[in-house]
Amino acid sequence: MTTGCFLPYSRTSMFRFSLPLALIACGSPTKVEPTTVLDPSPALEASAAVQLDALIGLVEQPMSGFPTSPECPSITPLLDDGEVLHERIIGDCELSNGHLLSGSLERYDGPDGTWLIGSDFQVVDDDQMIFGLDGAIEITPTGSLWLVDAAAALCGTHDWSCTDGVLALDLSYTVFPAEGYPADYDATVSGTVVTERASMTLDGAWSVNIAQCPLEPLTGMLSIQQGEHHAITHDGALACDGCAGWQVQGRATDGLCGLTD
């Protein structure tokens, strides 16, 4: 004997119910699993945090993005002998665009390396901070290799606006070959990043050749641990589209685009 759900038989009832309706009426309710919404914030924040251009640019030309004047900031040479330049840049003045500059920078550039130390260095417009650096960024040459270390809190770079909060970095990079930067080089990174939302640890390696792909690394991966494990993979050598693979706990997603804009 079979059991189940039967529709009353009649000539009219045969055509009154479509098959999907009959299945819904007779079968047990189908349990619909909720769609898991994946949070891309760790991948987006980590990708923005590890961009080398902002860090190296700050060390090499810390005031290049600001409309300076002979009066602001005050620059005091500590040593300038043609081989070594060591200077102190002091704020507490008004830039030519009306923004207020406070705090200080100390910069060293010599054959043994280049470093920049910010001491509560800020640019403020109407009580809104638009740039800030507190801490140190150092570039040390070792043969054809650069070692780049950042232990600093900063915001207001191309990759991290102060409206996103202050970014705290404790990162170590290698860049090889140094003479190839920024057009053709390999890089690695490891360390920790803290944002206003969360902290994360990360490791990564990538290869850049802007002649072959100006939109993203030719190859590379960034591994991020922040609660769950996230992984970003680049394939610019195969598809130079500015989009990267994105995995969460080993599960592939649709990917992310524009990470290195």
138, 148 contact by CB (below 8 A): yes
Number of domains in the chain: 1
The whole-angstrom separation of Cα 78 and Cα 41 is: 43
For residue 110, pLDDT beyond 90: yes
pLDDT at position 32 is 42
User: Based on the number of CB atoms within 10 Å of its own CB, is 20 exposed (0-12), middle (13-18) or buried (19 or more)?
Assistant: exposed
Name the pTM for this structure: 0.84
Say which residues have a Cβ less than 8 Å from residue 234's Cβ, sequence separation at least 6.
Answer: 206, 216, 217, 218, 219, 220, 221, 244, 245
Q: What is the mean pLDDT of residues 73-96?
A: 95
Cα 96 vs. chain centroid, distance in angstroms? 31
Structural domain boundaries enclosing 141 = 40-257
H or E element at residue 223? strand 219-226
**Is residue 156, in this structure, part of any structural domain at all?**
yes
For residue 4, pLDDT beyond 60: no
CA distance to 133, 145, 161, 228, per residue, from 113 (Å): 20, 12, 28, 37
**Is residue 9, in this structure, part of any structural domain at all?**
no
**Is residue 1, in this structure, part of any structural domain at all?**
no
- In the chain, the percentage of residues whose pLDDT exceeds 90 is 81
Q: What is the mean pLDDT of residues 126-133?
A: 95
**Is residue 219, in this structure, part of any structural domain at all?**
yes
Cα 117 vs. chain centroid, distance in angstroms? 22
For residue 7, pLDDT beyond 90: no
**Is residue 14, in this structure, part of any structural domain at all?**
no
* DSSP-based three-state secondary structure for 224: strand
For residue 200, pLDDT beyond 50: yes
**Is residue 157, in this structure, part of any structural domain at all?**
yes
E strands present in 5-144: 74-80, 85-90, 93-94, 100-110, 113-125, 128-142
User: Based on the number of CB atoms within 10 Å of its own CB, is 240 exposed (0-12), middle (13-18) or buried (19 or more)?
Assistant: middle
User: Based on the number of CB atoms within 10 Å of its own CB, is 124 exposed (0-12), middle (13-18) or buried (19 or more)?
Assistant: middle
**Is residue 32, in this structure, part of any structural domain at all?**
no
Identify residue 112 by its one-letter amino acid code. Answer: D
The whole-angstrom separation of Cα 261 and Cα 247 is: 20
Per the prediction, the chain carries an average pLDDT of 88
pLDDT at position 259 is 87
For residue 217, pLDDT beyond 50: yes
Identify residue 129 by its one-letter amino acid code. Answer: M
**Is residue 13, in this structure, part of any structural domain at all?**
no
pLDDT at position 188 is 98
